[in-house]
Chains A and B, each alone.
Chain A
């Protein structure tokens, strides 16, 4: 099953490589990963989408907790969560097709952020699944370039991941 794991860690050089190294050395999967400092500049927040059996996910959270630079770990998938990913996508857009891309973009609540005679660049946010669906809707054959941020996520309600 897919899990979204959020990690608060010391904003220090080498901390990120310890997290990533852990995944490669123990054979865990990384579907996507995003990281940036929080409002407290001494802390970074890393969001990681992974998949595997429950036993492996349990090991992942335990092993992450063991890393000295890691302050807190939360498996957000254990409760309700908000998940967002940002995608910038360049799509071939000419002739009749141009209007159709625009329509699809509207339906998915995307924004066309750059235009040339033959290309639209669309900005889209949502769950990873929604971004996948948009690519399917416009057709893989029309896609020139895709860049995705990796998942950011936060728990719904009162639950807070902070020091």
Chain B
């Protein structure tokens, strides 16, 4: 049997787990591990410029590939800097393993240099965490960490390793476990057959149905099953912000995103539906609007791997706990075996109604020639230039909603954004993770001048690893979404939502060794994008695009209303 030091065991475990990239930043408590890392070449370490970016990059990698992301950081500030990234992954159920150094065991609790109780700090935002008490525990803990992070409802797991556990002069027998057995953790493997039969009956009898699919369909690799179910039934499909791409954005059966900034038709369908089947979605407050007025006439079928998601905010008529892929397959099986057919006449009438709703708003925006570029136009141009094939990461705010609404994602794992936590600063490091996973793919980071400055230091990482990310900066010189709420709810008092003293982003990009292009005129927009994606295909290009400052995101739910209560423009409401 091989004998290894704790530090070597950490790296060997990552190798045996098949980890390609380890995003991290060295420091005192992890120096032994970094030394072990140096003496191998299977796991490639990516040196970020701030630990928050390590977590986001690993997260972006995980979202794009479906494989877990991995980080290595030091104790104290190194560990706490990952907190925002861990919380981001937790809220969106992303598999992440964060290995943090800790001060040596004998110093724990003594307020030692760079000591933080990382297990305590991260406790509310991790799926689980491990504190290593003996070097021999390392392989088992890392195996369990990956197992827990990737199974059931995925999520981040922290492994905190005191420095003395990795001492190079003490060696122990190393064996990486092949399997994990935990009496306290056994995620549901199959949905309840009886419930699935009931769901099939209710589903085919529906007169006004809607399939409401969330990020769980993507995380649970159930997009094929979703598409098959939708085709079989011919029902309209809406995706949540996290679910975009689960069902093709350009498909006729797709009615757009739902929720606060969902399409008019998606929200109207939800409100008038008699059957809603929620698949890997969690009926969160950005979807439902006022829960007491949510889908007043609908029977609700809810499929989720996490029992606590069911009936948390909205009471469910038919709950099904299980992996969404097998549950949908079983559902299709029941429909086929029993030769169940949807109500064709009712469905025809329903689609007629849906088409009317579609015509009503259609993500309309007013464009006047010669005036400022509309942010929506930028996203549509991006879609055109990249032929809808790009990986698009985003930060948080108006640009995120415009991207979600106007870049029709046909494939899953192409739209990478912080939906649950709403983390500004996520976009650029997440794009790095995506670009590492797919070096030849077009990766665009749609951002704003507020968000991009929250992790701007990563431009340096992008230079080091020659990542040809295209940064699409929708520059409205203000914190657009804050400003929009101030316009709508605070009498137009723009408290601190104006960005003064913006850097010259072109020069900034150049200072980091990249290419910067400023766009202020609509006629230059597409050529600039073309140039970025073709001529500068292998370079990072920072497109600083000045857009209309006064533009708002519509539709927008009216607070305290039902799904159908929306502002459709600055002056028109439902």
Contacts and interface: CB of A to CB of B under 8 A. Distances in A.
A87 interface: no
A18 B123 contact: yes
B20 interface: no
A14 to B, nearest CB: 6
Nearest to A18: B123
Contact of B184 (A10, A13, A17, A63): A10
A13 to B, nearest CB: 7
Contacts of A17: 120, 123
Interface size class of B (residues with CB under 8 A): 10 to 19
Interface string A128-163: 000000000000000000000000000000000001
A65 B308 CA distance: 9
Given A13-B131, A18-B123, A25-B124, A71 B307 contact: no
Contacts, number: 36
A68 B184 CA distance: 6
Contacts of B184: 9-10, 68-71
A19 to B, nearest CB: 11
Identify the interface centre among A14, A25, A68, A71: most chain B CB within 10 Å of its CB: A68
Contacts of A68: 127-128, 148, 182, 184-185
Given A17-B120, A68-B148, A62 B127 contact: no
A141 B164 CA distance: 56
A133 to B, nearest CB: 37
Interface size class of A (residues with CB under 8 A): 20 to 34
Contacts of A18: 123
Interface string B155-189: 00000000000000000000000000011110000
Interface string A52-93: 000100110011011011110000000000000000000000
B306 A14 contact: no
Given A13-B131, A17-B123, A62 B308 contact: yes
B311 interface: yes
B307 A14 contact: no
B183 A163 contact: yes
Interface of B: 119-120, 123-124, 127-129, 131, 148, 182-185, 306-308, 311-312
Interface of A: 9-10, 13-14, 17-18, 21, 25, 55, 58-59, 62-63, 65-66, 68-71, 163
The 4 A-B pairs at the shortest CB distance, nearest first, are namely: A62-B308, A68-B128, A71-B184, A25-B124
5 contacts: A9-B184, A25-B124, A68-B148, A69-B184, A71-B183
